[in-house]
Amino acid sequence: MKFRVEREVLAEALGAAARVASTRNNAMPALSGVRIEVTGDKLLLSCTDNDLSVQFVLNVGGQEDGVVVASAKLMSDIVRTLPEDKVTVETIGETVSVSSGRAQFTVPTFAATDFPNIVQASAPPVTLAANLFADALRQVVRAASSDMQRLALTGVLMSAEPDGLRLVATDSYRLAVRDLPGSNILGHGEKVVIPSRALNELQRLLASGEEASLCLAGDRATFTVGQATLSTSLLQIEFPNYRQLIQPSYPNTLTTAREPLLEAIRRCRILARETTPVRLEMTATSLKLIVVTQDVGNTVEELDATLVGSDTTVGFNPEYLSAGIEAVTGDEITIQTTDPIKPAVLRGVGAPDYLYLVMPQRLTN
């Protein structure tokens, strides 16, 4: 196998592929590898950890057809740092050589037969607007859990709603819900839970395309964006019943400018330790943010705001709160509360398609 390609093109694809390659499977070392296959002037790069896989098709100057599997991380690190614009990759015996300019690397290979077949969902694809879907993922995936002990919470629920598609994620401390009205990529009443790790990778891929397609079949979902194909197993697990958490109305609604609030919380976080809440004191005309951290210091900042309802004080985990404010769109944001220990809801003013529900932290005197 031998080919020549632009360094940037290969580095970008290898970087994305290497993130998917398994780094912890000692029983199957080939899973830490990238499969490189050249046929004519087409290069197919594949990485998988058996649950998630990604493939890239690149145009290259093919000189000799063949297949090789080498460490994905090594290949990515090498190509990313090569000195010249053009890279030549070729197999030499049991090794693969990567050269550019006067730099040349030789790394060992895995048996290509040890690399598993990539399974993709085969069904008629449906089309997604890449930027819209990427924006929805940006708003929702952040609320998914990374705790594998609560597997259902590590996924993002995609469900067909009467007026479109809904994406939902929660880690039990916050919940993000994004509606995509008019999007009918799922059948009536259909719902799937997709691992958030796969959707994190998809977000990156969507940045490079205008259109994406989705195939859903059996226990797999396959997304295609440009020359990249990402395929993931679905979580065969019941997503928690989140609907009961969203009330139709809240007694207190505070409205304030989004960006100044975000900046103020960022400043507060300088003093906040892991468990220190940021205290939000809401009154008719202002919002006061207070952080008191023993032995570290205190901060108070006041912002203009409008409150409809009763004066109230609620404490939040500053990280979760700022993640929600970041995810909301629009110049102004509303924070709706019931009492200091019930979930609060963040929405962008004029942006009804997204809500971020966050659980307060108990405040001590």
Partner 1 sequence: MRLVVARCSVVYEGRLDASLPEANRLLMRKADGCIAIHADGGAYKPLNWMNAPNTVVEHDDKWVVTNPKGETLTIYLHEVFSDSSHELGEDPGLTKDGVEAHLQELLADLPESIEPGLTLIRREYPTAVGPVDLLCRDASGQTVAVEIKRRGEIDGVEQLTRYIDCLHADTSLGNIRGIFVAQSIKPQARVLAESRGMGWCEVDYDELRGKRTDELRLF
Nearer to partner 1 by Cβ, of 110 and 173: the residue is 173
Task: Give ∠ CA 323-327-331 in degrees, rounded to 5.
Answer: 115
Least CB distance from residue 206 to partner 1, whole Å? 27
CA–CA gap between residue 315 and residue 233 (Å, rounded):
38
CA–CA gap between residue 139 and residue 201 (Å, rounded):
14
Nearer to partner 1 by Cβ, of 106 and 172: the residue is 172
Q: Which of 94, 331, 341, 352 binds partner 1 (CB under 8 A)?
A: 341
Which alpha helices (DSSP H) does the chain contain, by range? 7-20, 72-80, 130-140, 196-206, 258-269, 318-327
Least CB distance from residue 138 to partner 1, whole Å? 21
Tokens 């360094």 belong to 7
If binding is defined by CB under 8 A, does position 25 make contact with partner 1?
A: no
DSSP 104-167: EEEEEEE-GGGSPPPP---S--EEEEHHHHHHHHHHHGGGS---TTSGGGGEEEEEEETTEEEE
Least CB distance from residue 205 to partner 1, whole Å? 25
Backbone angles phi and psi of 302, in degrees to 5: -115, 135
Residues 6+ apart with CB under 8 A from 266: 322
Least CB distance from residue 214 to partner 1, whole Å? 21
CA–CA gap between residue 20 and residue 2 (Å, rounded):
24
Tell me the per-residue interface mask from 289 to 328 with partner 1, x by CB under 8 A, - otherwise.
Answer: ----------------------------------------
Distance spanning both ends of the chain, measured CA to CA: 70
Tell me the per-residue interface mask from 146 to 175 with partner 1, x by CB under 8 A, - otherwise.
Answer: --xxxx-x----------------x-xxxx
Nearer to partner 1 by Cβ, of 153 and 287: the residue is 153
Q: Which of 9, 28, 245, 292 binds partner 1 (CB under 8 A)?
A: 245
Least CB distance from residue 89 to partner 1, whole Å? 31
Q: Which of 66, 226, 240, 309 binds partner 1 (CB under 8 A)?
A: 240
Segment 203-222, which members bind partner 1 (CB under 8 A)? 219
Please give the structure tokens belonging to residue 2. Answer: 């031998």
Nearer to partner 1 by Cβ, of 196 and 256: the residue is 196
Please give the structure tokens belonging to residue 103. Answer: 């730099």
Interacting residues toward partner 1 by CB under 8 A = 27, 148-151, 153, 170, 172-175, 219, 233, 236-237, 240, 242, 245, 341, 343, 357, 359-362
